[in-house]
């Protein structure tokens, strides 16, 4: 069975269930599409960048973000709900770990392409590719090198596998020489690749 055929079969099944819910008055016509459109429209890497900049400038917020990301992002007016059930968000920080080892984190979804759309916008095509999803788990250092991120052997790399229930976002290291920058200026330095972990800031 081709991927295209499987996708069209699933789409037909979803539409059938949607029609039944509309017929029973549990959904307004087109309500699911409207909610999905609203959710996608609000999702942008700028949201994740705002969170990172706040964490870089507010140690208390950074601590809360790493302890309970879902609660912390509400402080800046963001949410992982988007009109549907809230997904669990875990933020992992690049830097020196508790044992003194330098750590770098990278995010993947080995089963599909789950990631925090509300904070990063729609996922890039390479994130969805089978090559990335399979190889970053087996050879993260090699994959990061292909993205132009060369890490010393002394840096420990952790790969975080997203799922339908849980999403991950990387808190990159704050670049040196940025002490005088405002929160808005700092947010401008953060890229989507930095939030996934395939680039440094």
Tokens of 153: 């052997």
Q: For residue 97, what pLDDT is reported?
A: 80
DSSP 130-173: HHHHHHHHH-HHHHHHHTT----TTSEEEEEE--SSEEEEEEPP
Please pick, among 8, 11, 19, 112, the residue that the annotation labels catalytic. 112
106 has which bridge partners? 159
Tokens of 143: 């994959």
Tokens of 142: 């090699």
Q: For residue 10, what pLDDT is reported?
A: 59
108 has which bridge partners? 161
Q: 10 with 84, same domain?
A: no
Q: 91 with 24, same domain?
A: no
Tokens of 53: 């900049």
Question: Whole-model pTM?
Answer: 0.79
Q: 62 with 36, same domain?
A: no
As a whole number of angstroms, the distance between CA 182 and CA 168 comes to: 26
Q: For residue 42, what pLDDT is reported?
A: 59
Here the CATH number for the domain that contains residue 86 is: 3.90.330.10
Q: Which strands sit side by side in the sheet containing 95-96, from one edge to the other?
A: 95-96, 102-108, 156-161
Q: 29 with 75, same domain?
A: no
90, part of any domain: yes
Q: 124 with 30, same domain?
A: no
Q: 78 with 155, same domain?
A: yes
Q: 132 with 66, same domain?
A: yes
Q: 119 with 186, same domain?
A: yes
- pLDDT (tens, 9 = 90+) of the chain, 201 residues, equals 333 334 456 556 767 776 777 788 776 776 665 555 455 445 789 999 999 999 999 999 999 999 999 999 999 999 887 545 678 999 999 998 878 889 999 999 998 888 898 899 888 999 999 999 999 999 999 999 999 999 999 999 999 999 988 999 999 999 999 999 999 999 999 999 999 999 999
Residue 5 belongs to what domain range?
Answer: 1-42
Q: Are 132 and 143 in contact (CB under 8 A)?
A: yes
201, part of any domain: no
Q: 67 with 124, same domain?
A: yes
Q: Is the Cα dihedral 58, 60, 61, 63 positive or negative?
A: positive
pLDDT tens per residue across span 70-99: 999 999 999 887 545 678 999 999 998 878
pLDDT tens per residue across span 162-178: 998 899 999 999 999 99
- Our answer to whether residue 112 is catalytic in this structure is yes
Tokens of 159: 């790969």
Q: 31 with 116, same domain?
A: no
93, part of any domain: yes
Q: 27 with 120, same domain?
A: no
- Our answer to whether residue 114 is catalytic in this structure is yes
């Amino acid at each position: 069975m081709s991927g295209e055929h499987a996708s069209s079969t699933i789409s037909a099944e979803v539409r059938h269930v949607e029609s039944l819910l509309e017929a029973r008055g549990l959904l307004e016509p087109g309500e699911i599409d409207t909610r999905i459109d609203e959710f996608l429209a609000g999702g942008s890497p700028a949201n994740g960048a705002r969170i990172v900049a706040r964490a870089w400038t507010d140690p208390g917020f950074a601590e809360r973000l790493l302890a309970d990301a879902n609660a912390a992002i509400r402080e800046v007016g963001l949410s992982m709900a988007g009109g549907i059930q809230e997904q669990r968000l875990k933020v992992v920080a690049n830097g020196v770990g508790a044992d003194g080892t330098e750590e770098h984190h990278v995010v993947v979804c080995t089963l599909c392409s789950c990631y925090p759309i509300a904070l990063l916008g729609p996922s890039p095509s390479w994130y969805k590719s089978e090559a990335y999803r399979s190889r970053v788990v087996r050879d993260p250092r090699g994959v990061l090198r292909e993205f132009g991120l060369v890490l010393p052997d002394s840096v420990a790399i952790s790969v975080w596998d997203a799922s339908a229930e849980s999403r991950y976002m990387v808190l990159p290291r704050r670049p040196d020489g940025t002490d005088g920058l405002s929160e808005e200026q700092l947010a401008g330095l953060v890229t989507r690749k930095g939030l996934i972990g395939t680039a440094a800031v």
